[in-house]
Chains A and B, each alone.
Chain A
Amino acid sequence: MIQSRQSAVIILHIAAILLLFVLQFVLPDYHQLAMTRVMVLAIFAMGYNMLFGYTGLLSLGHAMFFAAGLYGAGLTAYYFGWSVPVAFVAGIGSGFVLSLVIGLVSLRTSGVAFMIVTMMFAQVAYLTTTYFTDYTRGEEGLVLPQAARSFDLLGVHFDLTSAVLRYNLSLVLLAATVAITLLIVRGPLGRALVAIRENEPRTVMLGYDTFRLKLMAVTLSGTISAMAGATYALLFAYIGAGFATIQYSIEALLFTLLGGAGTVLGPLVGTAAMFYLIDIASSYTVAYMLAVGIALVLLVLFFPKGILGTIRERWLPWLP
């Protein structure tokens, strides 16, 4: 019984990745690019989901972790001429350090206070990017030089101006994020994180150092978000302060809620759904945010657990 569920879970997630792989042969150019963005933003949302969906901590500041990855990779590539793989690692490292420090400070609070503290830190991060306009060019941003558009790794030449390569690189990173998330949430650590979400005082009395676990969750979540940011900067060769605004923090939350908080694939489904909702609505009207608003009202009314959360509740209780 448990064995067959285990394989159902693995098959389902491999199928989802395979579907995305096959999709690139069917999609027209425009949608291939759109899906590339969706996949990168879905990694961001999956990082967010680790903290919000599984650990139950609502952050309104995840744009700072995305931006840490974006600037960590983009600025080192732009100013130091670091190669793409090195800049990528620098982006992830920036996110790791930032989320560790932010976690140490902000986890002294909980609930609404945690939400506000993370939002304030993110605001500081955003203002920092505009304060150093001499280096970051603020909202206008920087376009990465031609040298950062290709790299050699293990004797293979990668050309990032190729749409196909960008699509497949983001797919590989998405697949890795799905695998890591699955490993964590189905293992002992995930069980402990969910226990904190459900009842933290009880979890302390079962011998868990919940502060340490929450710090791990913030760091993990922030580092995955930073990886998304670094990927975004390097694939699309642009870094700007716009990515550090609160809008991006809220988008991560919305994508997660729409797809289903606390489900592995929920953020991916939510990101794709929201992206295309905006895309389609904006081709009809400039007031496309109205369509988004209506969709969210309907979501809260009829599917408060999000798309996959509802499917799990009604039909597939084994969905991780």
Chain B
Amino acid sequence: MAAVTLLSTSGLSRQFGGLKAVDQVDFSIREGEIRALIGPNGAGKTTFVSLLSGRIVPSAGRISFAGEDITAMPAHGRVRKGIAYTFQITSIYPTMTAFDNVALPVQTALKKAKAAGPAGGAAVIAQRSLAALERVGLADRAGVKAGTMSYGHQRLLEVAMGLALEPRLLILDEPTQGLSDGEIDNFCALVKDISRTATVLLIEHNMPVVMRLADRITVLDRGQILADGTPAEIRANPAVQAAYLGTG
């Protein structure tokens, strides 16, 4: 695999009052990899990916994506460039149908494609939305109000919404939180499948899931990168063990 850098940050920082939530982070992710971002609670993981997705403005530093400086780009612009973010807390539209939930990101993806060729109307939106639901196994739930679906299905719907954006980088913020073991197995298979077409940045607390999926792991502690390496390297790193995995 060619080592093409998809996204990188330099000196990226964000302060909340006196608290340095993210402090001088130099980070980069290669095209096509599955990268896990781990760290103890309050390490700044969610703040960090919020900076990447544009939900939060950095105090200092730069972000570049696919060779372009996106530090000043608004969040919706970054989504159109190909950075999709799925929320830590399930954030679907509960009063809308599962179909409408995925149709929204499909419309964005079609708008993006419009520059290249003619985008279709309602029929194309319908076809692509159903395909996105199919990919996570929710095709039979298209007409169901999203808020009435089970929690596991809502999480899958959230992922389908991310996928429907046809992202180059998909940021998953604690996707397995609250899922049963069986659901987690399905989910891991899904992430493997997604990584064939997109780069995945995964924030995850569930270590077995991280070890199973990640090509590389970045450990964040107190807003700074503590370590960066393959799962085996991270497991063997004494600083990481002290800070996070426990020295037990």
Contact = CB atoms under 8 A, between A and B. Distances in A.
Interface stretch (A68-76, A111-119, A196-204, A265-273): A196-204
A201 B92 CA distance: 11
B166 to A, nearest CB: 10
B196 interface: no
A188 B104 CA distance: 8
A191 interface: yes
9 contacts: A194-B100, A195-B96, A198-B95, A201-B55, A203-B104, A205-B53, A205-B76, A206-B108, A207-B80
Interface string B120-158: 001001100000000000000001000000000000000
Contacts of A202: 87, 91-93
Interface in A47-99: none
B80 A191 contact: no
Interface of B: 53, 55, 74-77, 79-80, 84-85, 87, 91-96, 100, 103-105, 107-108, 111-112, 122, 125-126, 143, 161, 165
B225 to A, nearest CB: 25
B96 A194 contact: yes
Majority SS at the chain A contact face: helix
Contacts of B111: 207
Contacts of B53: 205
Q: Please tell me the size bucket of the interface on A.
A: 20 to 34
Contacts of B125: 188
Contacts, number: 64
B96 A207 contact: no
Majority SS at the chain B contact face: helix
A201 B112 CA distance: 20
Contacts of A204: 55, 75-76, 79
A195 B108 CA distance: 13
A192 interface: yes
Interface in A210-238: 210
A187 interface: yes
Q: 6 smallest A-B Cβ distances: which pairs?
A: A207-B79, A207-B108, A198-B93, A207-B80, A188-B107, A206-B105
Nearest to B161: A206
B75 A191 contact: no
The residue among B74, B75, B87, B91 with the most chain A CB atoms within 10 A of its own CB is B75
A207 B84 CA distance: 9
Contacts of A188: 103, 107, 122, 125
A187 B80 contact: no
A205 B96 contact: no
Nearest to B81: A207
Nearest to B112: A207
A315 B112 CA distance: 38
Given A188-B107, A203-B104, A207-B108, A198 B96 contact: yes
B159 to A, nearest CB: 13
A208 interface: yes
